[in-house]
Amino acid sequence: MVKGVLASVLASVMFGLLYAMAPWLAPLDGEQIFGWRVVVTLPFTTALLWLLQEQGQLKAMVARVRAQPSLVLGLLASAALLGVQLWLFMWAPLHGKALPVSLGYFLLPLILVLAGRLLFQERLTRPQMLAAVLASLGVAWELWRAGGLALETGIVCLGYPVYFALRRKLGTDNLGGHWVDMALLVPAALWFMARAPSGLLVWQSASHLQAMLPLLGVVSAAGLALYMLASRWLPMGLFGLLSYVEPVLLALVALLLGEQLAPGQQPLYIAIFAAVAVLVVEAVVQLRQERLRKVV
């Protein structure tokens, strides 16, 4: 449980850093950044797979595909769902849509909690229930204030639960399954990369990209791997609630990039920070209890 919590929090930090990096990747636009992110992430994800000695997952998946060829359709659907989210994540901060996407990440944990309860019969602890109620109040206020959902918000809060549920159903909710998702996205990524004026050699006209693109790969691979591991190690409900760390960071980055909170949006953030505080207190209590058990 503890390692899952740590993986989730570290993944959120990595994603916040990625959001902040987007403007520094100019002259690439959102689609080209998506392409480069996939291509430069895959080698580091491969290295992680071998470092953690989980390459056997790939062999097992190949054997499953040979025995059940229709599994390929599920794998393609999984990769497509992830690809849309990765593209939107890098596109939004460059097109003034960082806050609608952040709201999607505020809604996402509640949808994951609901999915965990309905699909996997998971139960929340009392502190987690309190956090869910606080977050629900904040999100309900924001939906009433905004008058509904933006398209970008809906894609995030509905797309990711479908993605995670599909991975669990396919039995690919592991690092090997994540590697397959990224590998299947490479053709689309190369197409987006080739659309740049200088094509695949964009760093020759923008020398700073020689450092930024490898950094993009490292941060993206680490963040995605930690996120996928957390989704595997934690119940979906708790995994969803811990995801509130990420939109808080994304919203802060959006403000640093020049976007502004709409009038009346403060109750949303007050409620979310309160929910996160409840989860932090529960995590601290659990850590102390585990240490006491080890001492005894």
pLDDT the model gives residue 124: 73
Crossing angle of helices 98-120 and 245-256, in 10° steps, is 170
Sign of torsion over alpha carbons 88, 91, 93, 95 = negative
Q: pLDDT tens digits for 145-204?
A: 877 677 888 898 888 888 988 988 888 888 888 899 999 999 999 888 877 665 556 656
Q: What is the dihedral of CA 64, 69, 73, 79, to 10 degrees?
A: 40
The model's pTM is: 0.72
N residues, the chain: 296
CB 231 within 8 A of CB 239: yes
pLDDT tens, residue order, the chain (296 aa) = 667 777 877 888 887 787 777 777 777 777 788 888 888 888 888 887 888 787 888 888 889 999 999 999 999 999 999 999 988 877 887 777 777 787 787 777 777 777 776 666 667 778 878 887 887 888 788 778 877 677 888 898 888 888 988 988 888 888 888 899 999 999 999 888 877 665 556 656 667 777 788 888 888 888 877 877 787 777 765 676 676 676 677 667 667 767 676 677 778 778 877 877 787 777 677 667 766 776 65
Q: pLDDT tens digits for 271-295?
A: 877 877 787 777 677 667 766 776 6
* Integer Cα distance of 58 and 56 in angstroms: 5
SS (H, E, C) 217-237: HHHHHHHHHHHHHHHHHCCHH
Sign of torsion over alpha carbons 138, 140, 144, 148 = positive
CB 16 within 8 A of CB 246: yes
Q: Which of 240, 250, 178 is nearest to 18 (CA)?
A: 250
pLDDT the model gives residue 287: 63
